[in-house]
Structure formats: C-alpha cells, structure tokens
C-alpha cells in the first residue's frame, strides 16, 4: 500500500533535489513551512533534513523573510510596549568577556530603550547573556510582559528566546544532535519582537552580512546595521578596522571604520571572570582595552540611530557617555562617604 505523501515533504524536496533541480524556498513557501514547524506538524526526520540542507547551502533572504513572518504571527506584543533598539545576542562568548553588555547598558543609561534577545547553552564552553546579567546583579525577563515592564523602568530588558517561542528554543537545542547550528541561529536574530525602528546585528561569517541586511529589507525594517563582531556577538574589535553595512529606509550604504587609535588587544581570556564587568562598570577597575570595546560598540549603535554624522563623532559621543557614567559613579560614591561621615560621632568625624 502506497503511503500518502506528508504535506511537509514538498518543502524538503524543493531544497534537496540536487544541484540542478533544487532551489531555495520562496518567502511564501518558507512562511507556510515555518508555520507547520511551529505548530508541531512536522516529523523529526523532516525537520532535521530541512535544517541540515539549509545549513550546508546557506540560508536565502526569502527563506529568512518567511521564517520571521511566521514566527512574528505567534508573538503578541503587550499593549504600549516599545523599544528603540533591537539587539540580538545568540552566539555566546568564549575568547574574551562579553563587554558588549556594558555597551547596551550604557545606551540604556542615556535614555535609549534597548531590547536584547537571545539564547544560551547551545554550544558548551561559552558565556551567555543570562549568566552575565546575574554577575551584574540583573535578571532576564520571564515573559514579553515582563520585558515591557523592564523597558519602562530601566530602558533595558533581556528576553530569552524561550519566552518568545518555546518551539524555536527546542530547535536551537538540537545542535548536539545535528552536530551543527541550525538556521534558527541566523533567522532568530532578526525577530525584533517589539518592532523597534532600529536593529543592530552581528555575524561571524562575513557572507552572512548581506543575508541579514536583505532579510531586514524584505521585512520592511526601517533602520539596521550589521557587522562582523567578536565571536559573532554585537561587539566591536577596536584594534581592527570594521566594515558596517547599513540599511536606512530601504537604502543600503556601507561604512569603513578605521581601527581605534592606540588599542592593543590582550591575549585571549584563560578564565572568564564575569566579576570584572561589574568592577569596570562601577569604576572599581580600569581596563583600557575593555573600555575601548564598550565605547566602540556603543558608537556603532549611536551612528545607526542617527545621533551623530560620522564614525569619529560617534566614538567621541560614546566616550563622553562613558566618562559621564564614571562621573556619576564617583559622585554617588562621594555622597555615600559624606553620609557615612555624618553618621559618625563628632569625635570620630573629626579624626576621619
């Protein structure tokens, strides 16, 4: 007895019929295929085949468009929720500390509402956002509603992928079984859950830069930037020049930023001591290279958002913001010392 073909089989056949007969899925085909995946209507063997073929061939912008549109159909943005800058964090860090977290917090401190989203644990030996936040005394949002509240209160929220789409998180966790990352790692970066007008992306493999920009163009993203960051995270390597690909209202532009002057990269970290981030942020420690990373990364976001007219001006503004943060820390420390002094008995206060 001949079995009836599974409805999802046509999508696998389309991309896997060999070098001459196969082709990428159209945006509409990808939309329907992703809907089936999210509804759990796909056999595990079919899902594995689709993910593996896309990974080997490299994802197509139309496939990314359909994937993101299908996923966003399942996202219910809380009433009144909004973000200025969408920041994806899916790679994790293994060679140096995630200094980019301080860049995001620096922007948030200046009044920019930063929604960061990502995942963790798919690759052993890496440091991810959730544990980085814990080291800074912060927590991840537990839901879309919680993320909206955190943005309202502090201009920053980190939303794990599992809170956006549990099904996509399940697929992300297939890496130990498949042996390679899945296209979800590529496409989830472009979800922009709260429809922020500005989106910043980073890639590890240079050929993915244009894919990210083309997907955002097809999705109608007003403004975005993508560049090759450290380890695939949105983190500038200040000792090197960086090419930034931008998208503004449908127009593509590229900018070549020179290396930041006088920056020398230290050796790769042997131990990832997350306490150093809090020490740097609080002013208890100075790390010139890390400060350059923080400033340089924030500068790219400021340039994307049109706060400045040139890369040099962006770096100058980011440096000013970092110095203002330091001044605020010193001011608070001084105020605490004065309050402590005022609480001392008169005899001890005079001797202090």
Domain that holds residue 248: 85-327
d(CA 116, CA 46): 31
pLDDT at 341: 62
Looking at the chain, the whole-number percentage of residues with pLDDT higher than 70 is 92
Are both 54 and 122 inside the same structural domain?
A: no
DSSP label of 85 = E
pLDDT at 38: 97
pLDDT at 236: 97
In a domain, residue 344? The reply is: no
Q: Residue 151 in contact with residue 82, Cβ under 8 Å?
A: yes
What is the mean predicted confidence (pLDDT) over 135-155? 96
Are both 276 and 167 inside the same structural domain?
A: yes
Are both 68 and 89 inside the same structural domain?
A: no
Least confident of 137-146, 150-159, 174-183: 174-183
In a domain, residue 338? The reply is: no
Q: Residue 321 in contact with residue 297, Cβ under 8 Å?
A: no
Name the domain boundary from 19, 46, 72: 72
* CATH (domain of 56): 1.20.970.10
Which range, 52-56, 214-218, 270-274, 345-349, is most confident? 214-218
In a domain, residue 133? The reply is: yes
Are both 94 and 23 inside the same structural domain?
A: no
In a domain, residue 47? The reply is: yes
Please classify residue 122 by burial: count the beta carbons closer than 10 Å to its beta carbon, then call 0-12 exposed, 13-18 middle and 19+ buried: buried
With CA atoms as reference, report the closest residue to 190 among 165, 216, 210, 214.
Answer: 216
Answer yes or no: is pLDDT of 305 > 70.
yes
Are both 322 and 301 inside the same structural domain?
A: yes
SS3 87: strand
SS3 156: strand
Per the model's pLDDT, the better-predicted residue between 125 and 55 turns out to be 55
> Can you say how many angstroms the Cα of residue 298 is from the centroid of all Cα atoms in its chain?
13
DSSP string, 254-309: EEEEPPPTT--PPPPPSS--THHHHHHHHTS---HHHHHHHHHHHHHHHHHTTSSS
Answer yes or no: is pLDDT of 350 > 80.
no
What is the mean predicted confidence (pLDDT) over 45-57? 94
pTM: predicted TM-score of the whole model, two decimal places: 0.91
Count structural domains, the chain: 2
* CATH (domain of 120): 3.40.1030.10
Are both 41 and 147 inside the same structural domain?
A: no
Are both 159 and 214 inside the same structural domain?
A: yes
**The length of the chain, given as a count of residues:** 352
List, for residues 186-201, the tens digit of each pLDDT value.
899 999 999 999 999 9
Sheet holding 223-228, edge to edge: 156-160, 114-118, 85-89, 198-203, 223-228, 242-248, 251-257
In a domain, residue 104? The reply is: yes
Are both 144 and 94 inside the same structural domain?
A: yes
Using pLDDT thresholds of 50, 70 and 90, give the confidence band for residue 345.
low
Q: Could you tell me the two tokens for 183?
A: 């296209």
What is the mean predicted confidence (pLDDT) over 295-316? 97
What is the mean predicted confidence (pLDDT) over 31-50? 97
Q: Which residues pair with 172 in a beta bridge?
A: none
Answer yes or no: is pLDDT of 289 > 70.
yes
In a domain, residue 321? The reply is: yes
Q: Residue 116 in contact with residue 87, Cβ under 8 Å?
A: yes
Which range, 178-182, 325-329, 334-338, is most confident? 178-182
What is the mean predicted confidence (pLDDT) over 305-311? 96
> Can you say how many angstroms the Cα of residue 344 is from the centroid of all Cα atoms in its chain?
47
pLDDT, mean over the chain: 91
In a domain, residue 1? The reply is: no
pLDDT at 352: 42
Name the domain boundary from 72, 97, 115: 72
Are both 89 and 63 inside the same structural domain?
A: no
Are both 226 and 314 inside the same structural domain?
A: yes
In a domain, residue 184? The reply is: yes
Looking at the chain, the whole-number percentage of residues with pLDDT higher than 90 is 78
pLDDT at 349: 47
Are both 219 and 260 inside the same structural domain?
A: yes
List, for residues 231-267, the tens digit of each pLDDT value.
889 999 999 999 999 999 999 999 999 999 999 988 8
Answer yes or no: is pLDDT of 329 > 90.
no
d(CA 299, CA 310): 10
Are both 21 and 167 inside the same structural domain?
A: no
């Amino acid at each position: 007895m001949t079995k009836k073909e599974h409805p999802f089989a046509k999508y696998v056949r389309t991309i896997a019929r060999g070098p001459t007969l196969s082709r990428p899925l159209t945006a509409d085909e990808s939309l329907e295929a992703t809907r089936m995946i999210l509804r759990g209507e796909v056999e595990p063997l079919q899902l594995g085949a689709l993910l593996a073929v896309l990974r080997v061939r490299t994802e197509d912008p139309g496939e990314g468009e359909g994937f993101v549109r299908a996923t966003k159909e399942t996202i219910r943005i809380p009433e009144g929720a909004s973000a200025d800058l969408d920041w994806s964090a899916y790679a994790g860090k293994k060679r140096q500390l995630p200094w980019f977290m301080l860049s995001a917090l620096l922007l948030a401190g200046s009044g920019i509402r930063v929604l960061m989203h990502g995942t963790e644990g798919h690759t052993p030996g890496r440091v991810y956002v959730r544990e980085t936040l814990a080291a800074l005394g912060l927590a991840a949002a537990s839901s879309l509603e919680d993320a909206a509240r955190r943005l309202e209160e502090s201009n920053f929220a980190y939303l794990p992928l599992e809170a956006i789409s549990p099904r996509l998180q399940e697929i992300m966790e297939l890496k130990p079984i498949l042996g390679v990352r899945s296209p979800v790692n590529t496409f989830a970066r472009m979800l922009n859950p709260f429809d922020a007008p500005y989106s910043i992306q980073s890639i590890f493999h240079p050929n993915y830069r244009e894919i990210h920009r083309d997907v955002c163009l097809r999705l109608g993203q007003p403004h975005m930037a993508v560049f090759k960051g450290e380890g695939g995270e949105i983190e500038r390597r200040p000792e090197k020049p960086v090419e930034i690909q931008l998208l503004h209202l449908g127009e593509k532009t590229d900018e070549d930023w020179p290396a930041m002057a006088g920056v020398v990269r230290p050796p790769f970290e042997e131990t990832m001591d997350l306490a150093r981030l809090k020490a740097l942020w609080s002013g208890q420690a100075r790390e010139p290279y890390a400060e350059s990373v923080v400033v340089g990364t924030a500068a790219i976001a400021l340039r994307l958002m049109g706060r400045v007219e040139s890369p040099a001006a962006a770096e100058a503004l980011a440096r000013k913001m970092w110095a203002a943060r330091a001044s605020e820390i010193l001011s608070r420390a001084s105020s605490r010392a004065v309050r402590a002094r005022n609480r001392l008995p008169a005899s001890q206060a005079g001797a202090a």
